Amino acid sequence: MRCQHRARTCGRTLGHGWRPAGLAIAITFCFGLAADASAGDQVDAISSALRARDYDRAIELTRDALKGSPNDVQIWTLQGIAFSRTGDNTGALAAYRRALTLSPDYIPALEGAAQLQYQAGSRDAVPLLTHLLRLRPDDPTGHAMLAVLEYRDGNCQSAVGHFAAAGALLDSELDALHAYGTCLVRLKQLEDATWVFQRTVALRPDDARERRLLASIQLMASKPREAADTLTPILEGGAVDSDTLELASSAYEEAGDTARAVSTLRQAILLDPRNPNLYVDFANIAFAHQSFQVGIDVVNDGISLQPQAASLYLARGVLYVQLAEYDKAEADFEKANELDPKQSLSAAAQGLAAVEANDLDRALATVRKRLASKPEDPLLLYVQADILAQKGVEPGTPDFRTAVSSARKAVALRPSLAPARSVLAKLYLQAGQTQAAIGQCRKALASDPNDQTSVYRLIQALRKAGDKSEIPGLLKRLAQLREQAAQQERERYRYKLVEGERTPAPSPPR
Amino acid sequence: MRVTRRTFMHVALASAASLSAERALAQGIASHTAKPLARRAPSGRPFLSRFVDVAAVSGLTAPVVYGALEGQKYILEAIGCGCAFIDYDNDGWMDLFLLCGTRLEGDPEGASNRLYKNNRDGTFTDVTEKAGLKAVGWASAVCVGDYNNDGFEDLFCTYFGQNRLYRNNGDGTFTDVTKAAGLWTVEARWGAGCSFVDYNRDGHLDLFVSNYVQFSFTHAPVPGANTNCNWKGIPVVCGPRGLPPGTHSLYRNNGDGTFTDVSRESGVSGAPRTYGMTVVAADLDEDGWPDIYVACDSAPSLLFVNNHDGTFREDGIVRGVALSDDGGEQAGMGVAIGDYNRDGHLDLFKTHFADDASGLYHNDGTGNFDEVTRASRIAVETRYVGWGAAMVDLDNDGYPDIFMVSGNVYPDVERKLPKYAARTPRAVFRNLGNRTFEELQEQAGPGVTEAHCSRGCAFGDFDNDGDVDVLIVNLNEAPSLLRNDVTGSGHWIKVKLEGVKSNRSAIGARVLVHAGDRTEAQAVVSQSSFYSANDPRLHFGLGNIATVSIEIFWPSGAREVIPRVAANQLVTVREGAGIVPNKGWGKR
């Protein structure tokens, strides 16, 4: 919804681009093309009427002129301009179309028609703009308009090229820049996206929302220090909001400054104590630093204020699992499910808690029970497949077939669920379906290039397939990933959260 | 990445859901874990082998001193050492050699490596001093081989400090020839596993030595000092992670009693630095040239594949024996080599840490492996820290079983986490004959269920009764000598090789015993299990097969087939000469 709104806003903004120039160009062009004196007089008269904003008069003059010169492309175009000025877009489009039938490369008609279609949000603008850009490849307005249309239709791959070609035209167009940046994010071109959102921040340096957007992208691009720097002006500005604090906390944590991450998050919680996300964030930090009880204590504070927040029970349950307090975890997952039956995470978590308790059979039973009511849930399907794989199901057995079909269905329902692809690759390897395993490994790596397991399995699968050319490169990649993971683990475990003096849980605002 | 609640859940679930590759708590040991498989109903088949610890009555009463009894300060105290079956006097009866450690505060009274001569009546006599093998230090591993081809097996012992080569003088004594042989290292290293191996097939045994960690008392951190000095949140000895890993060495035998360090030119020292442990050298890809497998702790294990030109290439990851099946590093300690599915190829079994399953790797005959730990149901057991192991037919039913010893490496953890006891029982995985195993406990006898803090173990037939017994190092206790009492009518055959063109010990030979429609492969190795050396007489259980043919691939490259050999005997085969008389062994 947000993107479509931006697209419409973009459209309105960019649609103005051609209008003043277009009219002048059209009129000048028409003057230039006037072949004979009488046609020239007529064009002159029509143009004067247009300049005088006497649009009805201009329309009447074009009708008279067309009686004698029905194939005069300039007059048709001027008629189009006149109609569009009166708001009669239907009449305008008809006139432009007539002009283009007579002269398909006639730029003023192309511009006029494209603009009208664009403003109407019609896909019919696309061929017009495309044609225009073939004739005038460096037209930034044409590129910008086409970019917005492509963005709106979800064709980011096509859109980004046009956004780039629009160049400086976008520098003052916030919504267009947002659209551009969003497309780059979708295409995982995060460096370029960062650059685009830096332009939006340059437009509105004091706008916290713009800075948060940029910081979010910088975090996605694994540049947490830059993200923190982006947020600093707001943080130091005085009137900081909890969303900004939350994001800053993520940035500090990613940058390895856990102490600051925790203090910033605590600040956010104090500002917005009823926001469950903040407690979940804290749980995540506690989890990462093996400080499970501290995480539980903080989540407990959240639950006391938001006793109906399913996510908090889920978070606490996960932390209980790490402490091997499976009964408490089970109770929390049940509660989460009761509060929000539509989500499947708690069911999956229950299954995994049973796995942690070394009870694979119970884990499977739990997940299957939930699957009975949610047969299309990709997460549950993945967990079922994974549990079966861990039970050592043998190829050719019904359980093995179930594992494969579960994993396949999971990835069909959610193609980005990389762990499901990893399990599927494993099962294919076991079954000797090497090419299928290779395919799944590649897709898993497309979602998560840092997935060591998929890199390893791809090496094994390629070796079995006798295709060794890629293996040396993959071995290097695996070594790099292992080193990176080890480094991250060392950084993460530098800190452990401990309870200081417990400050009272934040009270709900009166 | 912005931490949304969804992200946290996925992260947490992925962490929990990575069922076989859970990155657990910060610690010095590889954190790969695996969930144990549910145990199936027992097969109900009787296990006709029973182990009884006869160490005390045999005369093996001296404790293997190794580190502090509690409050250990350094990982050096925790790793322990190996042992060997060696017929040092060539009388046809296996003698025993046990390494020993020491303590930080000084060498305890009586601490020494020990050589026990087999009295042939179920007892042993300590001949350590007489043999010239009295030594105390932080001993690690032993590998056995006749490096000078004089017909007497020699000993190489690795240490933290200085490794030692003991030449068997043939008269009941040994001489420390480390310096003379060119094996003296100027700087102290932590020698780990070792193996004699004729890597260039010139008939002389060369020597491969793995190194564990670069350790120094001056710089080593103490328990709790950093994240590598914790296990499940409890301060423990640090490492190996956080300590610089060792590099490995290959020494070429010059044929004149000396060795030359060829680590660099062979490519061995160019391999990734790892925490090397047990070494097994065997022709894993069946191309006639010995390869070298090194179990590594908290790092990818290594497989050096012989290029036939004096060099090796390290191929562990590609060939599927370096990491877990999901690409995770494991704490690899001991290695067993054998043919669990009797397809004629040498498979590997590697012991791992607690909360992880020890790994079984099936060889497809080309030196490429598939991990079959779960498929084989070995993964029912994840409670113990595994050390020495062997893949050997314990009950002579024709199917190689797996025997493993265990013992915690952090003895102080037991107080806070009783589930991680310091002393734990042995494990016997009985081969069901369908590529799966079932774990036995009481059925295998009291020698298996007794709990000890064990490390190295060697497998051999000390009483020459046609089965496989087990010698086990127990830290700070007397060793165990598990006598195997096999009942039933299962046939067996033992094969002893003598090289002529090949090295005298025939290390590197691959032997196939064809029994009916079954073929079992074994290899003559200098070290396996954990830091230990087995009885070189290869034991094959035959079940109800009474006649076999024996196919030998000699290290020299020669191949020999001996048809129609009757079961229930030891056959000694001399290269090129066929079966020759045994030494000191009569038909049962």
Partners of B325 on chain A (C-beta within 8 Å) are 426
What is the separation, in whole angstroms, between the first and last Cα of chain A?
A: 34
Would you report the helix, strand and coil content of chain A in percent, each value rounded to 5? 75, 0, 25
Residue A508: pLDDT band with limits 50, 70, 90: very low
- Containing A333, the helix (H) or strand (E) segment is helix A326-339
Residues in B closer than 8 angstroms to A316, CB to CB, are none
Query: What confidence score (pLDDT) does residue B511 get?
Result: 98
Do the strands B570-574 and B491-498 form a parallel or antiparallel pair, or are they unpaired?
A: parallel
Supply the Cα-derived Rg of chain A in whole angstroms.
31
Domain assignment of residue A316, yes or no? yes
The reply to whether A393 falls in a domain is yes
Chain A: give the shortest CA distance to residue B332, in Å.
17
Q: Which amino acid is at B54?
A: V
Is residue A501 a part of any domain in this protein?
no
Q: Do B23 and A489 make contact, defined as CB atoms within 8 angstroms?
A: yes
Please answer whether residues B336 and B278 qualify as being in contact, where contact means their C-beta atoms are separated by less than 8 angstroms.
Answer: no
Q: Could you tell me the pLDDT band of residue A171, with boundaries at 50, 70 and 90? A: confident
Residues B282, B286, B288, B292, Cα dihedral to 10° = -30
d(CA B531, CA B510) in angstroms, rounded, equals 21
Is position A91 within any domain? yes
Q: Verify that A76 and A94 share a domain, yes or no.
A: yes
User: B318 vs A315: CB contact, 8 Å cut-off?
Assistant: no
pLDDT at B7: 43
In this prediction, residue A36 carries a pLDDT of 53
One-letter amino acid for residue A509 of the chain: P
Total domain count for chain A? 3
Last residue of a domain, one of A342, A376, A401: A342
Contact yes or no for A456 and B9 at CB 8 A? no
Q: Which of A94, A109, A137 is the last residue of a domain?
A: A137
Q: Which ranges of A34-87 does DSSP label H, i.e. alpha helix?
A: 37-51, 55-68, 73-86
Token duo for residue B115: 């050589």
A271 in the same domain as A358: no
Above pLDDT 70, what percent of chain A? Answer: 89
B326/A315 CB distance under 8 A: no
From the list A355, A459, A494, which residue is nearest B318 (CB)? A459
Q: Average pLDDT, stretch A1-24?
A: 43
Do A435 and A327 share a domain, yes or no? no
Say which residue, B20 or A35, is predicted with more confidence.
Answer: A35
The distance from CA A183 to its chain's CA centroid, rounded to whole angstroms, is: 7
Q: Note whether residue A290 is domain-resident.
A: yes
How far B486 CA lies from chain A's nearest CA (Å)? 32
Both A454 and A354 in one domain: the answer is yes
Using alpha carbons, select from B186, B182, B194 the residue that is nearest to residue B157.
B194
pLDDT at B31: 65
CB distance A290–B272 less than 8 Å?
Answer: no
By Cβ distance, the residue of B8, B37, B326 closest to A283 is B8
| pLDDT value, residue A493 | 67
B330 phi and psi angles, rounded to 5 deg: -130, 165
Kindly report, residue by residue over B242-295, the tens digit of the pLDDT. 899 999 999 999 999 999 999 999 999 999 999 999 999 999 999 999 999 999
Residue A258's contacts (CB-CB under 8 Å, 6 or more residues apart) are A252, A285, A289, A494, A495, A497
Q: Which residue of A has its CA nearest to B33?
A: A356
Q: What is the CATH number of the domain that holds A408?
A: 1.25.40.10
Q: Which residues pair with B498 in a beta bridge?
A: B574
Looking at residue B223, the DSSP 8-state letter turns out to be T
Most confident option among A73-82, B7-16, B223-232: A73-82
Do A97 and A19 fall into the same domain? Answer: yes
Using CA coordinates, name the residue in chain A closest to B242: A490
Q: Say if A249 falls within a structural domain.
A: yes
Whether residues A54 and A116 fall in one domain:
yes
For the ranges A387-391, A470-474, B503-507, the lowest mean pLDDT is seen at A387-391
Cα(A132)–Cα(A127) distance, rounded to whole angstroms?
Answer: 8
The complex scores an ipTM of 0.90
C-alpha A294 chain-centroid distance? 33
Least confidently predicted of A22-26, B96-100, B120-124, B186-190: A22-26
The last residue of a domain, from among A325, A342, A359: A342
Q: What is the pLDDT of residues B13-68, one digit of tens each?
A: 444 433 322 333 345 677 688 888 889 999 999 999 999 999 999 999 999 999 99
Would the CB atoms of A277 and B325 count as touching at under 8 Å?
no
* Residues A337, A223 share a domain: yes
Nearest CA-CA partner of A95 in A112, A115, A107, A120:
A112
Do A366 and A264 lie in one domain? The reply is no
Q: What are phi and psi of B537, to 5 degrees?
A: -80, 110
Q: Are strands B83-86 and B230-231 parallel, antiparallel or unpaired?
A: unpaired
Helices A190-203 and A174-186: angle between axes, nearest 10 degrees: 160
Cβ of B7 within 8 Å of Cβ of A490? The answer is: no
Q: Between the CA atoms of A451, A455, A457 and A460, what dihedral angle is there, to the nearest 10 degrees?
A: -170
More confident position, B493 or A39: B493
Is pLDDT at A314 greater than 80 in this prediction?
A: yes
Count helices and strands in chain A by DSSP H and E runs? 28, 0
Does residue A408 belong to any structural domain of this protein? yes
Residues A119 and A53 both lie in one domain: yes
Nearest-CA distance B423 → chain A (Å): 22
- Residue B372, token pair as written in the block: 């079959």
Over residues A308-317, the mean pLDDT reads 93
Is B15 within 8 Å of A287 (Cβ atoms)?
yes
Nearest-by-Cβ selection for A360 from B38, B233, B319: B38
Q: What is the pLDDT of residue B586?
A: 53
What's the distance, CA B532 to chain centroid? 5
Is the pLDDT assigned to residue B572 strictly greater than 80?
yes
A476 touches B at CB < 8 Å: no
Are A420 and A335 found together in one domain?
A: no
d(CA A162, CA B78) in angstroms, rounded, equals 65
Question: Tens digits of per-residue pLDDT, A199-236?
Answer: 999 999 989 999 999 999 999 888 999 999 999 999 99
Average pLDDT over residues A431-437: 96
Note down the domain range covering A105: 4-137
Residues A300 and A364 in one domain: no
Residue of B2, B35, B317 lying closest to A459 (CB–CB): B317
Res. A31: pLDDT tops 50:
no
Would the CB atoms of B327 and A452 count as touching at under 8 Å? yes
Convert the pLDDT of each residue in B302-356 to its tens digit: 999 999 999 999 999 999 999 998 899 999 999 999 999 999 999 999 999 998 9
In a domain, A401, yes or no: yes
Neighbours of B246 (CB within 10 A): 24
Give yes or no: residues A78 and A52 share one domain. Answer: yes
Sheet holding B276-282, edge to edge: B276-282, B291-296, B302-306, B312-314
Asked if residue A294 lies in contact with residue A321, where contact means CB atoms within 8 angstroms, the answer is no
Contact A78, A46 (CB under 8 A): yes
Residues A17-34 have a mean pLDDT of 47
Chain B residues whose beta carbon lies within 8 Å of the beta carbon of residue A394: 375
| The pair of three-digit structure tokens given for residue B253, joined into one six-digit string | 């035998």
Of A311, A349, A455, the CB nearest to B5: A311
Q: Are B326 and A349 an interchain contact pair (Cβ–Cβ within 8 Å)?
A: no
Residue among A244, A246, A280 with most chain B CBs within 10 A, to mutate: A280
Q: Is the pLDDT of residue A12 over 60?
A: no
Query: What value does the mean pLDDT take over residues B490-511?
Result: 98
**Tokens 């102290």 belong to which residue?**
B188
Q: Are A313 and A339 in contact (CB under 8 A)?
A: yes
Any bridge partners for residue B348, and if so which? B337, B361
Rounded to the nearest integer, the mean pLDDT of chain B is 92
Contacts of A497 in chain B (CB under 8 A): none
